[in-house]
Structure 1
Amino acid sequence: MNTLPVSPPEAVRIGASCFSFASDDGKTVYFSNLEPFDCHDEGDRPAMLLRVARFARHGIPHRDLQAAFGISRTTVHRALDKLRDRGEAAFHEPRRGRGTSVITGETAEEANRLLAGGMSGAAVARKLGVPVATLNHNRRRGFIGDGMPGGTKPQPEPEAAETESDAGTDAREAPLGRSARDRRDRAAPMGRAARDSAGRVAASAGAMAEARPRFDEPLSAIACGGVLAALPALLKEGLLDRAGAFLSLPKGYYGLTSTLLLLAFLFLARVRNPEALRHEAPGEWGAVLGLDRCPEAKTLRRKVRALAADEKRVKGWQDALARDWMADGGDTVATLSVDGHVKVYAGRKGRLRKHFVSRQKLCLPASTSYWVNALGGRPLLCLHKDLDPGMARALERDVLPALERIGLPGPDAPDLTASEDATPALTLVFDREGWSPALFRRLARRGIAVITWHKGFRGEDWPEEEFRAVAAPLHGPGGVQSAEVRLAERRIRLRDGPEVRQIRRLLDTGRQVPLVTTDFGVPMERAAGALFSRWAQESFFKYMRDEFNLDGLPVHGLAELDPDARVVNPARRELDRRINRMRSRLGTLRNRVADLLRGAPSDAATKSAERVAAEIGTLDAEREALKLQRREVPTHVRAAELGEDEMLDALPSGERLLLDVIRMIAYRAETRMMPAVAAAQGGKRRPRRPLAELFRSEADIVPDPGNGILRVRILGTASNAGDAAIAGLLDELNRTGTVFPGTGLRMVYELPENGAEPDEDAS
């Protein structure tokens, strides 16, 4: 039978248990209900903690023990752990003191003698049997030695320090390590690593347009600090040059410069999207930017949304960059590759139109974008389409207007159909998806030549004697190589199209692969090499998917489809589906009739064939009726005419375009850095791997304001071969004399064993 716990009226109850305790004549007495069962001296704290540990071990809640004995939760845990680990005897052990803190007498004389003889402080402490801290404490207090603990250098007088500073010989401040930075970031008053309280308050009050980067102290082993090596290439590719004319952000702590730099650095460091910033140390990325910390993921998303609010301005920024890249690209932009990329939508909220994804051989919800790349794979333009019209239409309706905005093909483009000697103002290279002889004619009249595969060709083979071995130039990200191929050419006229040159390649298997071009002046090996170089664009898509998260969704939201967009009529699609099912069923029934009547059929087989034939007649009549009904149903309708359950969604194109433009800049910057690494690698050339390792490596950041230098010391490469691969690159970067934006500090890159400052000529 359960009874209610009772206790003496003067006792302190321990929660809802039957135990209590009270003070009695200098003793603390413990009761179980009304029966005393234990006691100890009233001031004996170890004995009290022993009883607390016993109660806790027997299941009394810790919060009840805290309230009854007036101790903290940590004290209860420590007492219980002590009882479990070391037993009750541990509570009766004498408390260890701090030991001797002042060295006197013979011990002091012996310490002075040993120190005067040149022995280190640690060795003297071991010799005397005292802690090293005690010895150093006595030296600092002047009780022994010269007043300086071992390893500490005397500090110069103020006048001497000023003289040495003027001479530039003062000792540099020790870099702040990762552990110390982490402790400092955790203690920040406004959240993790948010140490710039004054700047953030000023930004929130609208008194600051944006925080300016400051490198005030040396820092060691900054995570992903090696990504600063990409800064010269990013600036050369125009990350910040034209951004201010097209993009803007409201006043705030993080401005346009820091936001664009952070996004580019994240892509190069293989941080796949702004959402992944939640799993990165904010103080480390802040050190890379020259700020106290980087923005949170939600803050960065808001910045991206604000930058992409006006999609026309984002397109204007892309066009301005493309014009600069064309001027820097020389003759390589006279021939451009065009291809579509399908971005699969894996979300559950949206209802996107399905596209055929060739790499997966499936029809999946997706959106399409058309990319224009220079020979070698460097991207020039990206055009997003909510509804894919097909490459042939996209070339004329989307790609050409975009090229005209950046000055291609130009107002003086000749009519290629008027004279075969005319030089094309622009050549477009694409695969057979863009096959359209009528389009080829219209492009030729505008001075644009095409190079593509001959789609659906069924002609006879040419004699092998016509083919000759030539060296076709193959353009790639790392430069131009050549491959020996066997080619032959003839002139043919396309059906419903212009006269073209058909060039065939003879494979080792004897197969002849035809391609066509409307450029009559280019050598056939160059025309074939341009089409063969399309692998660079395909490799670009794969690399961007794997390394830069090209297929990632920029935001979680969806956008409304343009109400005037033309989409496939769902009613027409349903009629097509029913007609196709009937056609398949009719084929099956006709085959069954043929099987029943084969040879000498029996009466039963004949009757079965008659029943099946009657069913065929009924199905055929229904199919013809559906065909007549289909003629009255339009193939396409406006998106606004769709029902609520048929309405299609679209992905926000502004954020997609903004992030894709920054991805293009990051890719071009990485490609710009490749030649120096490839030259150091020799025969085995895989320059992108060392660059990816460089961007993810740690680095020391050591500012030298007196000399106007921001020194970046690369750490953490995997091997000596990795150091050798990037050593030449760092020398080239130093010769650029790049200044970190907003600081006036010149970037100097080095490896740990290469600490000398570059020559004046190099800088």
Structure 2
Amino acid sequence: MAAVAQGKKGPKGPKGPSRLGREVVGRIVALRAQHRSLRAIGAEVGVSEFSVRRALKLAADRGAAETAGTAGAPAAAEPAAPAPDARQPELPILPAPVARAAERAAAGELEAASPVFAAAARVPHAGLFLAFPALEASGLLEGAKAVYGSLPNGFYGLESILVDAVLRALAGEARAEGATRFNPADLGRVLGLDRAPEVKTIRRRLGQLAETGKAQELIAALAAHHLTSTGPGGENLAAVLYVDGHVRAYQGTKKIGKLYSTRLKFPVPATEETWVADAHGSPVFVVMAEPGASLAGELRALLPELRTAVGDGRRVLVGFDQGGWSPALFAHMAGAGFDVLTWRKGATPDLGEALFTGVAHTDEHGETRTWFAADTLVDLPLAATKTTGEVFQMRQISRIVPTKGGGTRQIHLLTTDLNLNAGEAIHRLGARWRQENQFRYARMHFDLDSHDSYAGTDDDPERMVPNPARARAYQKVLAARKHHAEAAAEADAALLALKNPPAGTNEVTVTNAMINQAKAPLWGAETALTTAEAAHQRLPQRVRLGDLAPGQQVADTETKLITHAIRMAAYNAAMTLAREIRTNTGYAKATNEAHALIRQAFHQSGDIDPTVPGHLTIRLDPLPTKRATNAIAELCDHLSATKTRYPGTGLILRYALKNTTQP
């Protein structure tokens, strides 16, 4: 009992005055703003880590109380800081948006409301301001003005509708319905308006653009701007273009024609688009393909528009997969100033190993790759002139690659560019997967395959389409041919057995009846084959769509092309900023994390400061990690140097991270 009594502690209570005075709290807040750890702050100030946490909470509580108790007085951008930095003025936290009631009342007489910015701190989605230099470089706003001029009078003009759409896409909500997932006032602050447009307004304004029927002109304007501009590492982007078809599945209730989807592995109601990408895999051009059209046919039709977009007569290397296989097309492209780069289709004899040597190529990132390849010339028969023996000569580059079974096989690519380094040709065709990656990324982050319009029009009933009955009949021909070959083999075996009796038999007597019996299955197979071939030949190759699928419809294309233009601008803006992080910051993991980092930065809060005449300063809040904060700070310095003007204003954008060197 004595031991227990001696160990008993006195009553709990304060042992002395608190060490967390205003001066100490202010010092802790200042150190925390420098991204110091709680433990390091405690060691420097001389308090425990728990006290550091308590001091930060006290500072936050004081800042909230002062803000609530001061009517109309601006609150500090950083809570309870001892002396605000003169370069970071105190701004009100999320003040009421600038009143625009008069402009809304006069919307019918107003072409568009101009952006007006009020000083505000901790604005959600302030990171979206980072996109404006890249958005300007995309040419979307410039091209839209040239094509459409303006929208009918209203509060939300052409620029605000397009900027809103691009920013929502970058924030992960590309569809019009995505506007419901934002606070209209929050996104409105980024747009310089009292509130962002709502779903019905977005649909109505995009519908007004679609009614003009100029969506393809907008796409062409974007392509011309993209291919004639000089971007980072893209001084000759038009030197290489990739073309591929993209099947967009349809899940609505309209009667839409079916197409085979290589991604889904079965036919589905869908529309098909033909996309063109640059050497980086960034989208440049898109057209809605005719239902059931082949990639070869679409390529031939695209060439004049690609030449217009390139803007001069230089030869352009066009890469595509085997869907565009056509020696006649290759000859046509070569004559039109385009070089072909594709895989060889069909069975090809293997080359001798003595022809293979090592080739190499160093890519734009400085990485060198080597291959074992053979460089030869081949003659391809032109399909339209097989009877005359006319051929088209192309360069064939062959590689030996391993197979799953442990062996090897040869693959062959073809090109009409006789001067291209063999290693670069292999690299360029392999880089065609950048376009596939673009489709995948855009499906994940930009809702590429979404239904942006539920409207549709009747398909042309007089349009001639392939006859599916003929295809089914041809399958019967193939089955009959296979059965005929098997019957012929069995008949030969039976006749051979008749002529070669078992050992010990002296005489062989083969009668007509025996021969007829042996050949009977073959004669039956010949009759079935003749009947199947005749039935196949009687069917027409093409039939009227109205006879085959009456009432078939085509999904709206104008609205989809406009939203594609918006997504292209958003995608290219995101890729440009990710490229800037890789090349102009010291972010150690930029190669693998640049895209994720820029998406994170888009959602970062920050301050909007229009107090400096002629400038709009955006100060972003620090990111969760120090390395990410430092990378975005470096990006801000680089973007500030572009001196981009906010669309529709004369304000030059300046960027910074809080408590870092300001522009």
TM-score of the two chains, using structure 2 as the length reference: 0.74
Indicate yes or no: 2:618 matched with 1:720.
Answer: no
- Distance in 2, matches of 1:467 and 1:150, equals 76
The answer to whether the 8 A contact 1:568-1:637 is kept is yes
Structure 2 residue corresponding to 1:252, chosen from 150, 154, 168:
154
Identify the residue that residue 253 of structure 2 maps to in structure 1: 348
Identify the residue that residue 505 of structure 1 maps to in structure 2: 399
**Closer, same or farther in 2 for the Cα pair 1:154/1:543, shift >3 Å?**
closer
Structure 1 residue corresponding to 2:131, chosen from 197, 221, 230:
230
**Closer, same or farther in 2 for the Cα pair 1:153/1:383, shift >3 Å?**
closer
Identify the residue that residue 142 of structure 1 maps to in structure 2: none
Structure 1 residue corresponding to 2:306, chosen from 399, 403, 413:
403
Structure 1 residue corresponding to 2:636, chosen from 704, 707, 730:
730
The answer to whether the 8 A contact 1:386-1:561 is kept is no
> Per-residue deviation at 1:377?
0.8
**Closer, same or farther in 2 for the Cα pair 1:711/1:617, shift >3 Å?**
same
Query: What's the CA shift string for 1:124-161, capped at 9, x where partnerless?
Result: xxxxxxxxxxxxxxxxxxxxxxxxx99999999xxxxx
Q: Aligned AA for 2:656?
A: E
Structure 2 residue corresponding to 1:694, chosen from 578, 601, 605:
601
- Distance in 2, matches of 1:641 and 1:504, equals 47
Query: What's the CA shift string for 1:63-118, capped at 9, x where partnerless?
Result: xxxxxxxxxxxxxxxxxxxxxxxxxxxxxxxxxxxxxxxxxxxxxxxxxxxxxxx9
Structure 1 residue corresponding to 2:534, chosen from 615, 628, 640:
628
- Distance in 1, matches of 2:401 and 2:488, equals 44
Indicate yes or no: 2:330 matched with 1:428.
Answer: no
- Distance in 2, matches of 1:491 and 1:580, equals 34
> Per-residue deviation at 1:571?
4.7
Identify the residue that residue 19 of structure 1 maps to in structure 2: none
> Per-residue deviation at 1:195?
5.6
Indicate yes or no: 2:359 matched with 1:467.
Answer: no
> Per-residue deviation at 1:458?
2.5
Q: Aligned AA for 2:416?
A: T
Rg comparison, structure with higher value: 1
> Per-residue deviation at 1:252?
0.9
Identify the residue that residue 522 of structure 1 maps to in structure 2: 420
Unaligned runs of 5+ in 2: 1-20, 24-65, 74-85, 383-390, 499-515
Identify the residue that residue 273 of structure 2 maps to in structure 1: 369
After the TM superposition, which residues 86-485 of structure 1 pair with which residues of structure 2 at under 5 Å, given as runs? Answer: 174-177=91-94, 196-203=100-107, 206-216=108-118, 218-247=119-148, 248-311=150-213, 313-329=214-230, 330-355=235-260, 357-397=261-301, 399-407=302-310, 410=313, 425-464=315-354, 466-474=355-363, 479=365, 481-485=367-371
Query: What's the CA shift string for 1:613-634, capped at 9, x where partnerless?
Result: 9999889867755643443332
SS at match of 2:340: strand
The answer to whether the 8 A contact 1:326-1:333 is kept is yes
TM-score of the two chains, using structure 1 as the length reference: 0.65
- Distance in 1, matches of 2:88 and 2:125, equals 27
> Per-residue deviation at 1:656?
1.3
Matched pairs, number: 552
> Per-residue deviation at 1:532?
1.9
- Distance in 1, matches of 2:535 and 2:346, equals 33
After the TM superposition, which residues 60-75 of structure 1 pair with which residues of structure 2 at under 5 Å, given as runs? Answer: none
**Closer, same or farther in 2 for the Cα pair 1:456/1:662, shift >3 Å?**
same
The answer to whether the 8 A contact 1:367-1:388 is kept is no
**Closer, same or farther in 2 for the Cα pair 1:396/1:283, shift >3 Å?**
same
> Per-residue deviation at 1:751?
1.1
Q: Aligned AA for 2:143?
A: R
- Distance in 2, matches of 1:723 and 1:351, equals 49
The answer to whether the 8 A contact 1:503-1:515 is kept is yes
- Distance in 2, matches of 1:443 and 1:354, equals 27
Indicate yes or no: 2:549 matched with 1:648.
Answer: no
Q: Aligned AA for 1:387?
A: P
After the TM superposition, which residues 598-677 of structure 1 pair with which residues of structure 2 at under 5 Å, given as runs? Answer: 624-625=530-531, 627-644=533-550, 647-677=551-581
Indicate yes or no: 2:430 matched with 1:532.
Answer: yes
> Per-residue deviation at 1:723?
0.7
SS at match of 2:617: strand
The answer to whether the 8 A contact 1:350-1:558 is kept is no
Indicate yes or no: 2:466 matched with 1:568.
Answer: yes
Q: Aligned AA for 2:299?
A: L
- Distance in 2, matches of 1:489 and 1:570, equals 41
> Per-residue deviation at 1:255?
0.6
Identify the residue that residue 495 of structure 1 maps to in structure 2: 381
**Closer, same or farther in 2 for the Cα pair 1:229/1:119, shift >3 Å?**
closer
**Closer, same or farther in 2 for the Cα pair 1:578/1:276, shift >3 Å?**
farther
The answer to whether the 8 A contact 1:474-1:530 is kept is no
The answer to whether the 8 A contact 1:210-1:253 is kept is yes
**Closer, same or farther in 2 for the Cα pair 1:488/1:573, shift >3 Å?**
closer
- Distance in 2, matches of 1:305 and 1:154, equals 45
- Distance in 2, matches of 1:684 and 1:741, equals 30
Q: Aligned AA for 2:455?
A: G
> Per-residue deviation at 1:346?
2.4
Unaligned runs of 5+ in 1: 1-117, 121-148, 157-168, 185-192, 411-423, 601-609, 759-763
The answer to whether the 8 A contact 1:473-1:529 is kept is no
**Closer, same or farther in 2 for the Cα pair 1:620/1:750, shift >3 Å?**
same
- Distance in 1, matches of 2:421 and 2:130, equals 41
Identify the residue that residue 3 of structure 2 maps to in structure 1: none
SS at match of 1:388: coil
Query: What's the CA shift string for 1:341-364, capped at 9, x where partnerless?
Result: 121222233322222x22232222
Query: What's the CA shift string for 1:148-192, capped at 9, x where partnerless?
Result: x99999999xxxxxxxxxxxx999664233xxx6xx6xxxxxxxx
- Distance in 2, matches of 1:486 and 1:615, equals 52
Q: Aligned AA for 1:677?
A: I
Identify the residue that residue 79 of structure 1 maps to in structure 2: none
Query: What's the CA shift string for 1:595-643, capped at 9, x where partnerless?
Result: 999x99xxxxxxxxx99x9999889867755643443332223434445
- Distance in 1, matches of 2:417 and 2:604, equals 48
Query: What's the CA shift string for 1:216-266, capped at 9, x where partnerless?
Result: 3x2233322211110111012212122112123211111101001011111
**Closer, same or farther in 2 for the Cα pair 1:593/1:346, shift >3 Å?**
farther
> Per-residue deviation at 1:512?
3.0
SS at match of 2:236: helix
The answer to whether the 8 A contact 1:453-1:514 is kept is yes
The answer to whether the 8 A contact 1:409-1:447 is kept is no
The answer to whether the 8 A contact 1:676-1:728 is kept is no
**Closer, same or farther in 2 for the Cα pair 1:434/1:663, shift >3 Å?**
same
> Per-residue deviation at 1:690?
0.5
- Distance in 1, matches of 2:256 and 2:419, equals 48
- Distance in 2, matches of 1:722 and 1:196, equals 37
**Closer, same or farther in 2 for the Cα pair 1:524/1:711, shift >3 Å?**
same
Indicate yes or no: 2:447 matched with 1:549.
Answer: yes
